[in-house]
Amino acid sequence: MMKKSIFAVAVASALTFGAAQAETVLYGSIRYDYENAKTSHVVRNDYTYDGKAYTSYDFRSKRLSNLEDAGSRIGITGSEDLGNNNAVIYNIEIGFNGMSQSGTGGNHIRKSMLGLTGDWGTFAAGRMDNPFWQTIVEHTVLDDFNGSNVISAATQRAMTSALNGLSLASTKVNAKTGLYDDLEGDMTINTAAHTRVGKVIAYITPEFAGFQASAALMMDKNLYNDLGYRYTSSNFVVGKNQQKTIDLWTINASYNYDLGANGAIIAKAGYINGKLADNNSSKMWGLSLGYYSDAFKVTAAYANGNHTPQNSSWNQTVGYSKDKYNGWDIGASFSFGPNYFSTIRAAYGQNEIKQNSRGNYWAGNYYEGGKDKVKSWAVGFEQKLSTRTRAWVEYGSEETTYNQRNINKKKDDVFSIGMRHDF
């Protein structure tokens, strides 16, 4: 009815082993698709109207075909029984680009986890799924789309914007042309990242009457800047942060209400706090709710957060309001036919960055503020050819509206046909 993460499978299998047993399982997934996508880049237009010079920014689009790897990976997972219902668990997963021309591009470590589990819960360390991402994205309808570029979760885009400390997009000089034809932040509000995090330790409680909770923290000395605030004649020189211990932490909880033959209702809530952009915290809370059965799946998720950009010499004088982020997603799917092997699904989401007015109008340094927004939707059909093989046809569309008034909307879409085999 609902897919389980490899981490959950490793924990479950560990608890069933006998005293002398140890097991390592090889698994993987090969996912290829054909994509026909319209992609855009910004161009500058200078024109004259009523004797006055104006500049606007448009997006020039090209429709391109491509054979794409849609997230292939291979890994091992397993455990060793330590007695007294305790076990060591581990999981190493490597992502690869099977469509690479060179044969070397796209290889990366997705997960590398080592932990202990028992009746007391599970403790793990390494690189693993971001627990906050699991709260707002995992098991939602958006997470079920197969094409890697068809749609991303608006809640994850909001989380990425907050953790990266992003502000409103604006034009900047293109280093090659000398013109203001680059859009700073063009990919910022559209980007969905931080699905997995490294240098993390996490604790997951045992499940009790459907309830389960987790806490995780990240410590990375590479984010530390020993210069701190070093003032120059023009501005402050700023490192990532001044944290000597914890750079990011998150707490999350879930409740699974089993409806028996009628399916299940799963509710999740979480909070994340990190200093990945600068020395000021990015904060976000989120929740999701879903109904799951063999035939139907309906999910909704919401995330809301903020980040105050670290002070510069300009906003020391006029002040700087918080950048605020939010995103929400809804989705539904219907499975039918023998063994429910045929599925149609649809999803919609939107996220935005808001910035309040700041500065002093009479002093000439007033900034009106505003918001950038992304709207995305997708539909798809999936046909399972077996329990481990599936094919799909999907279409996704994305529209970005920018606060800067002379920047027009950006519209992209993608059509995907592909196949996936799990082993």
Q: What is the pLDDT of residues 378-406, one digit of tens each?
A: 999 999 999 999 999 999 999 988 877 66
Model pLDDT, residue 401: 87
pLDDT tens sequence across 354-372: 876 554 444 444 455 688 8
Predicted confidence band of residue 321 (pLDDT cuts 50, 70, 90): low
* Dihedral of the alpha carbons of 101, 103, 104, 105, in degrees to the nearest 10: 40
The DSSP bridge pattern shows strands 52-69 and 230-231 to be: unpaired
State whether the Cα torsion 38-43-46-49 is positive or negative: positive
Predicted confidence band of residue 311 (pLDDT cuts 50, 70, 90): low
Burial 154-165 (b: 16+ CB within 10 A, else e): bbbbbbbbbbbb
Predicted confidence band of residue 146 (pLDDT cuts 50, 70, 90): very high
- Model confidence at 324: pLDDT above 80: yes
- Model confidence at 185: pLDDT above 70: no
**Mean pLDDT, rounded, of the chain:** 84
Beta bridge partners of 305: 284, 325
Beta bridge partners of 243: none
Could you tell me the pTM of the whole model? Answer: 0.85
Domains, in order of start, for the chain: 6-422 (2.40.160.10)
Predicted confidence band of residue 188 (pLDDT cuts 50, 70, 90): low
Model pLDDT, residue 222: 82
Q: How many whole angstroms separate alpha carbon 126 and alpha carbon 198?
A: 6
- Model confidence at 186: pLDDT above 50: no
Q: Can you tell me the mean pLDDT for 83-94?
A: 95
Beta bridge partners of 246: none
- Model confidence at 92: pLDDT above 70: yes
Model pLDDT, residue 207: 95
